[in-house]
Amino acid sequence: MGIRERLSGNEAAAIAMKQINPDVVAAFPITPSTEIPQYFSSFVSNGQVDTEFVAVESEHSAMSACIGAESAGARAMTATSANGLSLMWEMVYIASSLRLPIVMSLVNRAVSGPLNIHNDHSDAMGVRDAGWIMLFSENNQEAYDNLLMAHRIAEHKDVQLPLMVCQDGFITSHSIENIELLEDDKAKEFVGKYKPEHYLLNDKEPIAVGPLDVQTYLFEHKVQQAEAMRNAKKVIAEVSKEFEELTGRKYKFFEEYKMEDAELVVVCMNSTAGTTKAAIDDLRSKGVKAGLLKIRMFRPFPSEEIAKALKNAKAIAVLDKADSLNGAGGALYEDVTSGMFVSKINVPTINYVYGIGGRDTTVKDIEKVYNDLEEIAKSGNIDNPYRYLGVRGEI
């Protein structure tokens, strides 16, 4: 039986970090992730962990310090949001290319400009192809659970890639919810100790980290990164199954909510899934066969599995909380439709960009999406597949 608590998402993330007790945490404050290193620093100061906490002068330095620590053979963690992740951009790519299993809490927030401190997914979408494993969290419980699983996934010998756990800024990061925590000893045993095979401080194996990688080698190294990302699918499934056996909480690549006979399906990520579930329950009471596919594992992207889950739908709406500004839909929409095309599954699919800069998305908004899907299912006519939800004025 776990420990029942009431915590915000940021508190839950900090407690997961306390139970992991990493060797190094390097962080710089930025709203809305600031509380995570703030809470964690109190665990350092009162002796609950023996982590080396590095208070750096910028987020670029935070990721640089994590890279140095992991290269030396230490387990390293950090947290950031939005512009902080943007400032890390160079080092985010370096962390993955050096195959360093750093774990980061990414509290999703709009990237400037104009300046906005509220939630959307533009920060995560900006680094979606940087070679990091990306897990998304609907609520505080999932943010905590994903962090406990993160090192087991990232540090696996067939993976060796950094991993970010995403949650929605303010919506979950600052909202207090009921949560079930693992006992400290069980969490510590589940996560295990970090035992890197190659590291700078191993005097028996002198190595160099980050040398020039010219045209003779870089291509092959990038292919190895891609292969490691493909390997991560199996590892994520294995670790999630072991976590379920320990806690009873079940995690797959995505969650299917009332999908058994669903004809009208919404695909989305993070906290919007909770709003969508409320809309589905209301629509189901009226006889509408509505369903939800909530993405948990965004990188690696489970395109084949998603296509299979959607094949019996009559109309699909993919919700993107970030606009790719490409005139052809958001990143999640592109990935979902690409997977369906490759799997030869042809279901009318539209895209809604929504919630930009923290714009509230209500049950009524989601029900409007299902109403649009109902019309598409009847007529077979999509008209404009690239749409906006909740924006003022005519687009």
Work out the end-to-end distance of the chain between its first and last CA atoms, rounded to an integer number of angstroms: 52
Q: Please report the pLDDT score of residue 1 as a whole number.
A: 66
Q: What is the pLDDT of residues 266-295, one digit of tens each?
A: 999 999 999 999 999 999 999 999 999 999
Pairing mode, if any, of strands 254-257 and 315-320? Answer: unpaired
Q: Is the peptide bond before 114 cis (omega within 30 degrees of 0)?
A: yes
Q: Burial, 51: exposed, middle or buried (Cβ in 10 Å; 0-12, 13-18, 19+)?
A: buried
Q: Is the pLDDT at 325 greater than 90, yes or no?
A: yes
- Whether the pLDDT of residue 210 is over 70: the answer is yes
Number of residues in the chain: 395
Tell me which residue has tokens 């199996």.
234
- How do strand 103-108 and strand 76-80 relate by DSSP bridges? parallel
The pLDDT score that the predictor gives to residue 155 is 98
Per-residue confidence at 184, pLDDT binned at 50, 70, 90?
very high
Q: Are 14 and 22 in contact (CB under 8 A)?
A: no
Q: State residue 304's pLDDT score.
A: 98
Residue 67 pLDDT greater than 70, yes or no: yes
Contacts of 60 (CB under 8 A, 6+ apart): 87, 88, 90, 91
Q: Percent of the chain at pLDDT above 90?
A: 98
In this structure, which amino acid lies at residue 33?
A: S
Does position 394 have pLDDT exceeding 80, yes or no?
Answer: no
Residue 242: per-residue pLDDT:
98
Domain segments of the chain: what residues?
Answer: 3-247, 254-389
pLDDT at 211: 87
What class does CATH assign to 3-247? Answer: alpha beta
The pLDDT mean for the chain works out to: 97
pLDDT score of 395: 58
Confidence of residue 388 (pLDDT cuts 50, 70, 90): very high
On whether the CB atoms of residues 15 and 181 are closer than 8 A, the answer is yes
- Cα–Cα dist 340/304, whole Å: 8
Same fold, 3-247 and 254-389: yes
Specify the CATH class of 254-389 in words: alpha beta
The residue-averaged pLDDT of 120-144 equals 98
Residue with tokens 């774990």: 103
The whole-angstrom separation of Cα 115 and Cα 324 is 18
CB-based contacts of 208: which residues, under 8 Å, 6+ apart? none
pLDDT bin (cut points 50, 70, 90) of residue 393 is: confident
- The predicted-structure confidence for 40-64, as pLDDT tens digits, reads as follows 999 999 999 999 999 999 999 999 9
Dist CA 40 CA 223 (whole Å): 37
Which residue is it, tokens 């990164």? 225
Going edge to edge, which strands form the sheet with 264-269? 254-257, 290-295, 264-269, 315-320, 349-354, 386-389
> What pLDDT score does 285 carry?
98
| Verdict on whether the full-model pTM lies above 0.85 | yes
